Structure 1
Amino acid sequence: MTSRGTLLRVLGVGFGLAVTIGNTVGAGILRTPGEVAAQLPHTALFLAVWVIGGIYALLGAVSLSELGAAIPRSGGYYVFAHRAFGDFAGFVVGWTDWLAQCGSLAATAIVVGEYVCDLAPALGGRHTHVALATVAIVSLLQARGIRWGSFVQNASSAAKALVFALLLLAFFAWAPPRTDPTVPLALPSEPMPLAVAMLIALQAVIYTYDGWYGVIYFGEEVRAPARDVPRSMIGGVLSIMALYLLVNAALVRVVPVEGLAGQTLAMGTATHRVFGERGAVILRVVAIVSMISAINAYQLMGSRTPLAMGRDRLLPEAFTRVNEGGTPALGLLCSAGAAALFILTGSFQQIAAVMAFFFVANYVMAFLAVFVLRRREPRLPRPYRAWGYPYTTGLALLVSVAFLIAAVLGDPRNSVSSLLVLAASYPVYRLVRRFG
């Protein structure tokens, strides 16, 4: 691949919306409603927690839009952490974010492989081969250039929106009347247990909203970042909020909220109610279309972070090479290789569990960066300034810190592993600084 040393500024707000939706809407919305219903088996509270989660994502989008418009560099969270906190913090955020992207890519590809094999029994359960082939095909398309990657993202996100629209139409228009008797589940009578149930449900909802920041990985490839980055993030969050509320309203129309409680695949329960035995096939088609879009987004994003780190001399210079199509060649290759390794070893599940700590920590670092850069660089041109600052950013930061504490308390074993990864990062960082 020929080195040009530069990315191509060819992306618009359409791509920004597509990568936001593609990176966010995936398997989570198919399964999370069952987890939320188990905590809040009351229709009003069940729907309200999705609104609250959306407002949190909107506050985050408002805040990060300021950074994305003021510092239009490709590379995601790493760019902001490095600018605000220096080399070591940037290094930790960069490589853990990249690892999380690769783990998510592997996990999603495995699910695609399983669903494809379910639909095509002739494949004989070769879901690992299908997963590897999916990663390889997406990587080869992206290797041709960002225009190809953008086309796949736009097309797959449009297909995702279409299949969800058709599914919602069926749920609202053709769902049979509910006739099954259900036993209403009691909510906790004490304020504190109810608050705990709300927090647990909100944690699951926020995970399902994760991905709204996708466009920040492409800052210098967006034609008008001052305008298109805020539009992509804020417009993307509003679109996802509308979709999630419609999906959950449709679910409770088809199945009472008590019937959704504890379902590992709530959407499957609803599709079976509407379509009968064909519901399983329809659900798998919806899931595959949704996940192809997510896989393309993970791979696009994962290839940009090593590029930005290489430019700041935190990775070898080879990572800065960009081919004629505007693709970071080595970053793409390493992301595909890491995902393939995770698929073959099955280690993506452990990676995902350990990286959950850093997933929340990156939120905290990004919102802190807004405060730090406002104070340290008051003259930095800010084409978009966070609405309601410092209150909106401060609220997003406080919720993120609470979310981080809940993640540590809820999974202490993997949190310890995450802290060990953090401790091991320093000697690796010193080696990179010395020999890089």
Structure 2
Amino acid sequence: MGLCKRKDSQPEIKDPAAMGDGKVVLKKQINLFQGVAIIVGIIVGSGIFVSPVGILQNVRSVGMSFVLWVICGIYNALGAVCYAELGTMIPQGGGEYIYIRRAFGDIASFVCLWIDFVLICPVGIAAMGLMFSVYLLKPIYPDCDVPELPQRLLGGLITCLLIAVNCVNVKWATKVQVVITISKLVALATIIIIGFYFIAKGETESFQDSFADSDTSAGAIALSFYSGFWAYSGWSYLNFLVDEMVNPVRNLPLAIFISMTLVICVYLLANVAYLGVLSPLQMLSSPAVAVTFADQTLGPLKWVMPILIAISVSGTMNGTALSMSRLFFIGAGNGHLPQFVSMINYKRLTPMPSLLTILVLTLIFQNSGDIFYLIEMEGFGFASILVMTFASHVYLRYKEPDLPRPIKVPVALPAVLCVVSVAIVVLTFYQKPKESFLALGLVALGIVLYLVCGKWKTKPKSIQEKIDHVTMFIQRLLLVIPPSKPEDLQFE
């Protein structure tokens, strides 16, 4: 294929109705049902199956834990409503990166992109890939830990498979997400039905004096909120895919509302069901609550639960890769990542270089002995992004008051959520100082790289030529070209 040159280095993604006229763009093919599946599939990962006890171990009572689950769900739902306003006001793919850039400019948006690039996306997918391996292989190693080599090999294999699906066809990726989401909801429904059956038989000891010995101190509440906050994380990822949604002004807020309502209800019912079979002490001492639950209720079919957990984790991996690849694709188009990351495979119409970049970084982290140390840095990164996003929400109300807002929330809401997110960042520094300062150092390194590589416009000709040769090599290798208007594309 010939190489493609552009007059403008920033890609512009348009409606693909005129594909026959030569446009190479991301297609609008994610409907409302698929949008719901993506959000639910990302949020409902391993947490509700493996260790939904972070709140319980801090507040020390069943009743208070349920209060915190509801409060955390409401907090995240309110955050999702704010994202719905931003997503319908600025219906561009890229999510919070786009909103922060519009409000505060290049450096702030680059910090957001860099945090996602080095702290959240590859580290998260790498960890989930390893977790997928542990639970899928657990029936083979029932009485010992899963060996490290098969764990890493299987983690790498599932990562490669999911990235390949995303590279080949967006519809395939969304269909995979739908199937996985249905599978994990079936697993949770099984837990809920069994648990409520036990409760109906009179197994209610766990709910007696449910608020006895509650720890309502500020520290306990803060730590519990922190645990619940991350249990609901993932609701923002659909905003990265707005460019590929059918009728995003209608479907984005609907998908967010339906997803958050479903997740909150399922989380509460699952926790009630667990306590219908297990005592609070059993839950706190279990390395994987759903597995312990299955051991006591499913008999010879108990091996099914680890497999269902693995399927659930793979859904979070798939949804993260699908959404985050669009963020990096758009950030590269703005000059915040290497240019080849902003290109699309001209046959598949997928952001293949962005997806393969995620794959490479993920495989590196999966082979790092410090993977779980790095995972703990995600708390700092994600909370920092929320601070910037809610701050940009407030600022845009005053900077651009006349922007059309199909959904408009009281400005006090993002302001309060911004303050709460700042408190979470401070708490992260208090709880995980080493990880937080390392994360801060990586962010500082990213700013330096941005100033040197991104803002340095007068590079020596020899350096620029080498960069161009690498870009052209990748174009030929992956059959990718920059998306843009047909009139801005010149084929050699």
TM-score calculated relative to the size of structure 1? 0.91
Q: Which residue in 2 is equivalent to 1:151?
A: 175
Say if 2:83 is the partner of 1:59: no
Aligned residue number for residue 223 of structure 2: 200
Partner of 1:315: 337
Say if 1:171 and 1:274, in contact at 8 Å, map to a contact too. no
In structure 1, what is the equivalent of residue 377 of structure 2?
354
| Contact residue 41 and residue 258 of structure 1 kept, 8 A | no
Aligned with 1:275 (options 295, 298, 305)? 298
Residues 35, 262 of structure 1: 8 Å contact kept: no
Deviates more, 1:400-409 or 1:343-352: 343-352
Q: How does 1:249-260 map to 2 (within 5 A)?
A: 249-260=272-283
Any conservation in 1 of the 2:94–2:326 contact (CA below 8 Å)?
yes
Cα deviation for residue 333 of structure 1 reads 0.5
Report what 1:92 is aligned to. 111
Shift of 1:5: 4.3
| Higher share of residues assigned helix | 1
Identify the match of residue 215 of structure 1 among 238, 241, 252: 238
What root-mean-square deviation, in Å, do the aligned CA atoms of Structure 1 and Structure 2 show?
Answer: 2.6
Q: Which runs of 5+ in 1 are unaligned?
A: none
Range moving further from structure 2, 367-376 or 73-82? 73-82
1:103 and 2:123 are equivalent in the alignment = yes
Mapping of 1:136-175 within 5 angstroms? 136-173=160-197
Partner of 1:119: helix, strand, or coil? Answer: coil
In the alignment, which residue of structure 1 is the partner of 2:56? 37
| 1:27 to 2:46 alignment | yes
Provide the C-alpha distance between the structure 2 equivalents of 1:74 and 1:360, rounded to a whole number of angstroms: 21
* 1:305 to 2:324 alignment: no
Q: Secondary structure at the match of 2:54?
A: helix
Q: Return the match for 1:49 from 45, 48, 68.
A: 68
Q: Tell me if structure 2 keeps the 8 A contact 1:37–1:262.
A: no
Give 3-state SS (helix, strand or coil) of 1:310's partner.
helix
Which secondary structure does the structure 2 equivalent of 1:11 belong to?
Answer: coil
Shift in CA distance, 179/162, structure 1 to aligned 2, threshold 3 Å: closer
Q: Which residue of 2 aligns with 1:74?
A: 93
Once the two structures are TM-superposed, the CA of residue 174 in structure 1 deviates from its matched residue by: 5.0
Query: For residue 26 of structure 1, what is the amino acid of its counterpart?
Result: G
2:316 pairs with one of 280, 283, 294 = 294
The Cα of 1:272 is off from its aligned counterpart by: 2.5
**Counterpart residue identity of residue 122, structure 2:** C
Change in Cα spacing, 1:179 to 1:84, as seen in structure 2 (3 Å) is closer
Q: CA deviation at 1:103?
A: 0.8
1:417 aligns with 2:438: yes
Per-residue Cα deviation, 1:291-319 (whole angstroms, up to 9, x for no partner): 11111111112211221112212223222
**Could you tell me how far apart the structure 1 residues matched to 2:252 and 2:153 are?**
37
CA–CA separation in structure 1 for the residues paired with 2:140 and 2:448: 48
SS at match of 2:353: helix
Q: Conserved in 1, the CA contact under 8 Å of 2:198 and 2:276?
A: no
Displacement of 1:429 in angstroms is: 0.7
Aligned twin of 1:364: 387
- Other structure's SS at 1:421 match: helix
CA drift of 1:262 comes to: 4.6
Match of 2:307 in 1: 285
CA 188–71 in structure 1, closer or farther in 2 if over 3 Å, else same: same
Q: Tell me how far apart the structure 1 counterparts of residues 212 and 419 of structure 2 sit (CA, whole Å).
A: 30
CA-to-aligned-CA distance 1:77-111 (integer Å, 9 cap, x gap) = 21122111111111111121133111111100111
Secondary structure in 2 matching 1:346: coil
In the other structure, the counterpart of 2:159 is 135
Instruction: Show CA shifts across 1:4-56 (max 9, x none).
Output: 64211111111211111111111111244322222223222111110000000
Across the two proteins, how many residue pairs are aligned to each other?
A: 430
Is contact 1:141–1:149 with CA below 8 Å preserved after alignment? yes
Please, which moves more after superposition, 28-37 or 335-344? Answer: 28-37
**1:33 alignment partner, SS class:** coil
Q: Name the CA distance, whole Å, in 2 between partners of 1:121 and 1:413.
A: 34
- Whole-angstrom distance in 1 between the partners of 2:388 and 2:267: 27
Between the two proteins, what is the percent identity of the paired residues? 24
Contact 1:183–1:258 under 8 Å retained in 2: no
Q: Deviations over 1:342-374 (max 9, x none)?
A: 112234323322232111111111111111111
Cα gap change, 1:90 to 1:117, in 2 (>3 Å) = same
Question: Which is greater in Rg?
Answer: 2
Is 1:328 aligned to 2:348, yes or no? no
Pair 1:406 & 2:427 matched: yes
Amino acid at match of 1:162: V
Residue 150 of structure 2 aligns with which residue?
126
Match of 1:112 in 2: 132
Cα deviation, residue 399, structure 1: 1.8
Shift in CA distance, 22/301, structure 1 to aligned 2, threshold 3 Å: same
Residue 154 of structure 2 aligns to a residue in which SS? helix
Q: Which amino acid aligns with 1:151?
A: K
Q: CA deviation at 1:276?
A: 4.5
CA distance in 1, matches of 2:367, 2:373: 13
Between the aligned partners of 1:131 and 1:29, the Cα distance in structure 2 is: 21
1:114 offset after TM fit, Å?
Answer: 1.6
